[in-house]
Amino acid sequence: MKNNRDRQPQRLVSRTGSFTLNVVRLGLPRLHFADLYHWLLTLSWPRFFILIWLSYTLTNSFFALAYLAGGDCIANARPGSFKDAFYFSVQTMATIGYGAMYPRTDYANTIVCIQALFGLWGVAMITGLAFARFSKPTARVIFSRVAVIASFNGVPTLMYRTANQRSNQILEAQQRVTLIRDEVTSEGDYMRRFYDLQLMRSQSPIFALTWTVMHAIDENSPLYKLTAKDLVEQQAEIVVTLTGLDETVSQTIHARHSFVASEVLWDMRFVDILLRSPEGKRVVDYTRFHEVKAVEEKL
């Protein structure tokens, strides 16, 4: 059997902040009926629209067959025509009522009553789902493509950058950083361990521009005395979570990111992107947000 240390490194959190896409779950039901609402909210927009279209088509097809089962029960419709019955079903469900076709028997009127009720319920459900999906708070926070380790005030420090892509502010923003790595216990058991990294500043009352997050690699740090080779061998991953209050919608938002060992650059630092305009205004050059440079050695 292949050793866990020999496998290819896999992210726990993807670059887009997704978690479940990188985890295979075995032994659990794929979808529980009680989680249907949650599944519909997390479904991608293209799949959501396809699902609505399929539901709409299948529902009208079902009622069209029900009308056909009643014989010649629709006035001005061709007997046995599925197309006419389908179009009549669409008009009934949408409460259009052009008047060209109408129910002519008690059987047809009964189906119309059932479909009208079903249509009202379906429209309400789809409208509620669409509104819930549109109103779901999201964050537009970017993270630097890499993290760097360089000296800061004489102490090796892990650093990465974040920025708010929107023009508003994220109030009471908080960040947590976790180191995940492979370990083997004294009993020989393989474990994936989580270690919290203490940050020099984990909170920001107003997160509007950029934020360079720093972790001092001292004696109390899980990264103390580790090298780039050690991080690769341990398949280390640094997971970042950010939460805050969006001032526009007054709702809590969150963002995630991770850095694998190959994305942690040693003896590098970020290029300065805070400038001053001739008028004295503060300028943030986001075109150089991900740029790094080698640390200059002092003579």
Residue ranges in the chain assigned as alpha helix (H): 36-42, 45-69, 82-93, 106-135, 228-233
- Measured distance CA(222)–CA(224) in Å, rounded: 6
The DSSP call for residue 79 is T
Reported pTM: 0.75
Query: pLDDT-derived band of residue 2, with 50, 70 and 90 as boundaries?
Result: very low
What digits encode the pLDDT tens for the residues 81-113?
Answer: 999 999 999 999 988 878 889 999 999 999 999
Residue where the block lists tokens 């978690």: 19
Residue 8 has pLDDT above 60, yes or no: no
Across-strand partners of 164? 141
Tell me the average pLDDT across 42-48.
91
Task: Specify the length of the chain in residues.
Answer: 299
Q: Which DSSP string corresponds to 10-42?
A: --SS-TTS-SGGG----SS-S--GGGHHHHHHH
- Measured distance CA(26)–CA(37) in Å, rounded: 22
Kindly report the number of other CB atoms within 10 A of residue 207's CB atom: 22
Tell me the average pLDDT across 117-124.
91
What digits encode the pLDDT tens for the residues 199-229?
Answer: 999 999 888 888 999 999 999 999 999 999 9
Which pLDDT does position 16 carry in this prediction? Answer: 65
Strand pairing class (147-152; 264-266): parallel
Phi-psi region of 172 (alpha: psi -120 to 50; beta: other; left: phi over 0): left
- With 0-12 / 13-18 / 19 or more C-beta atoms within 10 angstroms meaning exposed / middle / buried, residue 58 is exposed
Beta-strand ranges (E) seen in 112-236 are: 141-143, 147-152, 155-164, 170-184, 190-197, 203-207, 210-216
Which pLDDT does position 299 carry in this prediction? Answer: 42
3-state secondary structure of 113: helix
- With 0-12 / 13-18 / 19 or more C-beta atoms within 10 angstroms meaning exposed / middle / buried, residue 208 is middle
Query: pLDDT-derived band of residue 1, with 50, 70 and 90 as boundaries?
Result: very low
What digits encode the pLDDT tens for the residues 158-202?
Answer: 999 999 988 888 999 999 999 999 988 888 888 889 999 999 999
Query: pLDDT-derived band of residue 19, with 50, 70 and 90 as boundaries?
Result: low
What digits encode the pLDDT tens for the residues 249-297?
Answer: 888 999 999 999 999 999 999 999 988 888 888 888 899 999 999 987 5
- Residue 99, C-beta contacts closer than 8 angstroms, at least 6 positions apart: none
Please report, rounded to a whole number, the percentage of residues in the chain having pLDDT higher than 90: 60
Strand pairing class (251-260; 237-246): antiparallel
- Measured distance CA(159)–CA(197) in Å, rounded: 12
The DSSP call for residue 77 is S
Residue 198 has phi, psi (to 5 degrees) of: -75, 130
Which pLDDT does position 192 carry in this prediction? Answer: 87
Retrieve residue 143's tokens. Answer: 């993270």
